[in-house]
Structure 1
Amino acid sequence: MPSSHLFPVLPVEPNQFVAVLRRVAPYVHAYYEKTFVIGFCGEAVQAGKLNALVQDVALLHAMGVRVVVVHGSRPQVEEQIQLRKSASRFHNGIRITDTVALECVKEAAGEVRLDIEAAFSQGLPNTPMAHAEIRVLSGNFITARPVGIVDGVDYQHTGIVRKIAANSITHALDTNAIVLLSPLGFSPTGEAFNLSMEDVATAVASALKADKLLFVTDADGVRDAQGKLHLELSLEQAQAALRQGTLAADTAYTLQHAIEACKAGVNRSHILPYTLDGSILLETFTHDGVGTMVTHTLLESLREATADDVGGIVSLIEPLEADGTLVPRGRSAIERDIEHFSVIEHDGVLFGCAALYPYPQQKIGEMACLTVHGSSQGMGDGERLLKRIEQRARAQGLEKIFVLTTRTMHWFLKRGFVQADVSALPAERQRTYNPQRKSLVLVKTL
């Protein structure tokens, strides 16, 4: 039997499958041997999402990502407290962990940890875990101290992280194991403390200087006052969103920890919904992701192109040249004209480009090669590039811009262009106009 028969038939066309793999490849290279800390809430386990989460983490691990997993157990603790006919007590949103609650915390954490280890041990055929041999290591990597008495309230066995055994965790990761941590810490005297998943994940990511910290929670990210999801926030923007005081308490709590991690040297922190299947993969391997990312500086930039961008521009426009949407230019022409191009770059990858060719005497310019990668179409990148070209044109004293198009007339008409005759083109451009393409001339007054 051919080995390919061991795997399920792909539900997509072969060319779609190849296109997706090629689109993901830059991220696979970028994240190889990088360190991710993934913290997910106990609600995800309660909702039956554990197997899917574990499979996605296992896939990251198979791609060479070094992974630390931190689990929460809040709903599981509540269940244990109710079984003991006890009552939960909170102050300022933090659990007061008395002796009974501490026993519930230990039991809940142990139960969730065993379920996670069992999930990582799966090897069922026709699943993402097939042929996976993953070792999960846990240990007393966390030293904690008590929260103490705050505002006259004794939090008893509730604690906060004091120290992370970063060297020991790094050694475990070096053995190609996944490190699994529970929200429990211990004092040098052997006393146990109840910790929050967010505190543990932030402290671990900070101590390891992780490349990513991903919180998989019941929130889908950070939204503005109109309910629009922020896909990306700089550190300053995230702090401003927190200061506004309009976020839900759980979202604000998670965002605060995401900010703390970035301040401590973590490159990027993410807030993702556990309710969306594959949210970790979508956030990691797609252009815009599905949650909110907090980073020191915004990763997406709209800028003028340099010689280093030639290869990326060629890759962007080649498919459109092949299907006749764009006139073939060739690499040498792009190298020669690179100063005319503007590009959109996200995390080191080009996702869009456009060029401006000015005709100063006629105070008009041609916008050419407006291209947006298929993965980010519909996200507004085309309009941003158009505005950039308009800004460049105005800065050069041009009063109009024009485009020649065979397939995207309506897109330009919606953005203020009007159809014109070939005679509206500068005389120099009229001489190079190819009547066989029958390109429409569209002009916009700036």
Structure 2
Amino acid sequence: MDTRFPFVDWFRNASPYINAHRGRTFVILIEGEAMARGRGEQLIQDLALLHTLGVHLVVVFGIRPQVRQALDDAGIVPERHQGRWVADQAIMGIVERIAAEQRMWLEARLSLGLPNTPLHGMELTAISGNLVMAKPLGVREGIDFHHSGEVRRVRSRVIQGLLEKGSLVVLPPLGFSSTGEVFDLDAAEVAQHTAVALSADKLILLGEASGLFDQSGQMQRQLTPAEAEPLLRQVETADEPARHLRAACAAARHGVARTHLLSWHDHDALLGELFTRDGVGTMITQHRYEQLRPAELGDIGGLLELLDPLERCGMLVPRSRERLEHEIDDYLVIERDGMIIGCAALHAFADAGIAELACVAVHDDYRGGARGELLLAEIERRARRLGLSALFALTTHTAHWFFEHGFGLADIADLPLLKRDTYSYARKSKVLIKPLG
């Protein structure tokens, strides 16, 4: 039957989705290019509509193009390494200023309520703050990244409380450390970790690309992480499609039920994906199954694959197959659907009443889900059962993580004699010790 108002039929067909999304939590990333190209106004109107329909929203925004323009204006050429720029003090000052300007712009638009505007009559409360904790990238291949960082944890309980009170949470690509520092973060990483920490129902990544395509150019509407990850070989590691795809796969593997890859170029993409049967982009769906258990000889291949990238970048000391086989009883692993995604070892020095926490590793795609904490807790239980009084660790990259979990700085002289004799002065690892109460 013909109708004078086609939108009425669309509205009727959308009603099941309106009901399904009410009370759900969505984390939405809007890349900086969308704002720079004038798409911000309509996207904010769409966000306001979702809020009105009862969706709990966390909005993460990017600032890359705005920062690049500010750096050009200031005559600053940033050093780049491993796909990230090195945020020294001068660059970090610009990053902080641009992030503050973009946040205020978003909050001002979300406050708009004049007659004859799409947000008329709405009362939106947008809240930001120190909701994402970060750690420094540190020194990689001899390059000090200064204020470039990565997500340490998300303050999920605080965010959840704000959402339950009807607020819309706005997160810039910045993080804060327990030492009072501010770090420049990748917006896609912030969105991924936030979605995982909140057990969000959806992670929506709005970027340049409208989704994922196969070799024939056919849009892939729905993929599992295992099906999507091979597509990473087709794109540059540091480019936006790769960042979004890694975030989508990691979120799915961490339990986020659905991640959507959409283009901000399409004015209808956000609502079209959420309120139509077929959608308009690519959806990555979760695949989960994992357990923490003692390592077995059959895990050696998986351990080597897990540790190889960390050894190549200098985060871990290389371990041979023979060494892993000899020490396999010291190891714990996290297995997920047949894949080793995490490990840690406890090397006891019984005569000294102390043990080394070694080889703590979590696969890149599975970080941010408290797996490191899970491994540490089990290692501590093992150590206590052995009657040991303390743990020590040697690290070049992750001292902040150990500080957060009760370790303190120590001297080489505090190490057991055997470990002291084999200490590598070339690596200059920090010595950290944690008493076991």
TM-score category (smaller protein)? 0.5 to 0.7
Cα deviation for residue 130 of structure 1 reads 1.6
> Aligned residue for 1:384?
none
Q: Which residue of 2 aligns with 1:159?
A: 149
Cα displacement string for residues 309-349 of structure 1 (whole angstroms, at most 9, x for unaligned residues): xxxxxxxxxxxxxxxxxxxxxxxxxxxxxxxxxxxxxxxxx
1:245 CA drift (Å): 5.6
CA-to-aligned-CA distance 1:365-421 (integer Å, 9 cap, x gap): xxxxxxxxxxxxxxxxxxxxxxxxxxxxxxxxxxxxxxxxxxxxxxxxxxxxxxxxx
User: Residue type of the partner of 1:231?
Assistant: R
Alpha-carbon offset, residue 204 of structure 1: 0.5
2:138 to 131, 139, 148: 148
Map 1:141-220 to 2 at 5 A.
141-220=131-210
Q: What aligned pairs does 1:54-133 form with structure 2 within 5 A after superposition?
A: 54-133=44-123
Asked if the contact 2:84–2:238 (Cα under 8 Å) also holds between the matched residues in 1, the reply is: no
Which residue does 1:16 correspond to in 2?
6
Residues 170, 78 of structure 1: CA spacing in aligned structure 2 closer, same or farther, 3 A cutoff? same
Please give the residue correspondences for 1:10-409 in structure 2 after superposition, counting only pairs within 5 Å: 13-243=3-233, 249-296=239-286
Q: Report the 3-state secondary structure (helix = DSSP H, G, I; strand = E; otherwise coil) of the residue aligned with 1:266.
A: coil
Count, aligned residues: 286
TM-superposed deviation, 1:18:
2.4
Aligned residue in 2 for 1:8: none
Instruction: Report the equivalent of 1:367.
Output: none
Q: Distance in 2 between matches of 1:227 and 1:247?
A: 21
**C-alpha separation between the residues in 2 aligned to 1:23 and 1:120?**
28
Q: Which runs of 4+ in 1 moved over 4 A?
A: 12-15, 243-248
* Deviation, structure 1 residue 124: 3.1
CA shift for structure 1 position 240: 2.8
CA shift in 2, pair 1:235/1:111, >3 Å: same
The one-letter code sitting in structure 1 at the alignment partner of 2:188 is: E
Look at both structures and tell me which one has the larger radius of gyration over its CA atoms. 1
Distance in structure 1 (CA, Å) of the matches to 2:282 and 2:104: 30
Cα gap change, 1:246/1:223 in structure 2, threshold over 3 Å: closer, same or farther? farther
- Identical positions, percent: 40
The 8 Å contact of residues 53 and 278 in structure 1, kept in 2 or not, is answered as: no
Partners of 2:151 and 2:268 in 1: how far apart? 30
Q: Distance in 2 between matches of 1:278 and 1:124?
A: 24
- Tell me how far 1:246 sits from its aligned partner: 8.0
CA distance in 2, matches of 1:246, 1:110: 30
1:122 is displaced (CA, Å) by: 1.0
The residue type equivalent to 1:171 in the other structure is G
Shift of 1:13: 4.5
The answer as to whether partners of 1:56 and 1:278 remain within 8 angstroms in 2 is no
Aligned residues: CA RMSD:
1.7
Question: CA-to-partner distance for each residue in 1:65-84, whole Å, 9 max, x for gaps?
Answer: 00000000001111221222
Residue 151 of structure 1, CA deviation: 2.2
CA distance in 2, matches of 1:255, 1:77: 23
Write the distance in 2 (CA, Å) between the matches of 1:146 and 1:186: 10
Deviation at 1:241, TM superposition (A): 2.2
Amino acid of the residue matched to residue 157 of structure 2? N
Please, what TM-score do these two structures have when normalized by structure 1?
0.62
User: Which consecutive residues of structure 2, in runs of 5 or more, have no partner in the other structure?
Assistant: 288-437
The Cα shift of 1:270 comes to 1.0
C-alpha separation between the residues in 2 aligned to 1:48 and 1:189?
37
Q: Secondary structure at the match of 2:91?
A: helix
One-letter amino acid of the structure 1 residue matched with residue 61 of structure 2: H
SS in 1 for 2:135: strand
Q: Residue type matched to 2:144 in 1?
A: D
User: Which one is further off, 237-246 or 83-92?
Assistant: 237-246
